[in-house]
Amino acid sequence: MGTSNIRIGFVVLLALVCAGTAPAAAQGQKVWRHGIISPKSDAGFVLMPSRHGFGDKFGLKIQTVSLKNGNLAVKALIAGEVDSIETGAGETIVAGSHGGDVKIVGCQWPGLPHAIFAKSDIKDVQDLKGKKIAASAPGSLPELLVRGVLEKAGIPVSDVQISSVGGDLDRYKALVAGIVDAAVVSSEYLPLAPHNIKLLVAGRDVLPKFMRLCIVMTGKTIAARPDDAAKFVAAEISGLRYAVAHRDETIKLTREAISAKPDDPRPAFMFDQTVKHKDLDPDMHLPMDKLSWMQDLFIKTGNVKQAIDLKKIVDPSVRTKALALIGK
């Protein structure tokens, strides 16, 4: 195993130990390791499929592994450290364009809750020229979103300074502290933003076809464990449907996941915003038109050099089998 794979393996192992993942599988059950991005204020939706025995119903013991960002998630998946990941559609398209063994099996977050927050003296996107913007690693959702917004506004990337600054909380703190002029963060920070920080542009408004998250596996895993792959997606769909229908329980799960204080408004705010804007699709459809639009955008922004046949990185068969298991 190469050095990078060893590093990924260590991170995943540490996450499993520290996150308190599910106990060993009962006799007759198989373990399915699912990588998720570090929990945010909508974590109740993400974690619900691993609760209430949704996996047990289909004969799987689901273990969730928290990973720092989408890029690390893709690396962990390709390295075989996890069986599936919940990661950005953008990261997956970029990985697929470079020949990575990635297969999108369903997209549960077609809506984009991320936004560009900025100092109050920045009036519009044009005012970002010459400014420092906190995003994440190249090819990550925050970085792709910034490039997409700039491209739509006709602003060359060279006219701004995009800095890679950790996770959402790190970027938000950097903005509030005045280290950067703008930052891409989840809209969960809207209820907390001080008077000198404002939401400059909501991702869902300026780029309505830009999707947030999809469930991704490798072609190797699907070929080796086709039934387990379908069972996992069936558990995901069942859990997401339950989460949408049980507001209080989902908010409570979010509070537990992020150790939110009782007066923290973000978990309830994000649940209501997610449902209101239909950012979440519990049935995990595969909107090929949006994936195609995203690829075209990434070609314009330079993240993808040449278009690929998106059917090579999408596998609808897993979701079809999952819906049959559920009984739809």
Q: In the prediction, which pLDDT does 301 show? A: 86
Sign of CA dihedral 107, 113, 117, 120: positive
Residues 266 and 191: beta-carbon distance below 8 Å: yes
Q: In the prediction, which pLDDT does 14 show? A: 40
Residues 88 and 70: beta-carbon distance below 8 Å: yes
**Domains detected in the chain:** 3-111+211-326 (3.40.190.10), 114-206 (3.40.190.10)
Q: In the prediction, which pLDDT does 6 show? A: 36
Q: In the prediction, which pLDDT does 16 show? A: 43
Residues 205 and 60: beta-carbon distance below 8 Å: no
pTM for the structure as a whole: 0.85
Helix, strand, coil shares, percent, the chain, to 5? 50, 20, 35
d(CA 95, CA 216): 11
Q: For residue 168, give the nearest of 155, 187, 193 by alpha carbon.
A: 187
d(CA 92, CA 107): 12
Q: In the prediction, which pLDDT does 11 show? A: 44
Q: In the prediction, which pLDDT does 71 show? A: 85
pLDDT in tens, the chain (328 residues): 343 443 444 344 444 434 444 444 455 689 999 999 988 999 999 999 999 999 999 999 999 999 988 889 999 999 999 999 999 999 999 999 999 999 999 999 999 999 999 999 999 999 999 999 999 888 788 998 999 999 999 999 999 999 999 888 999 999 999 999 999 999 999 999 999 999 999 999 988 999 999 999 999 999 999 999 999 999 999 999 999 999 999 999 999 999 999 999 999 999 999 999 999 999 999 999 999 999 999 998 888 999 999 999 999 999 999 999 999 5
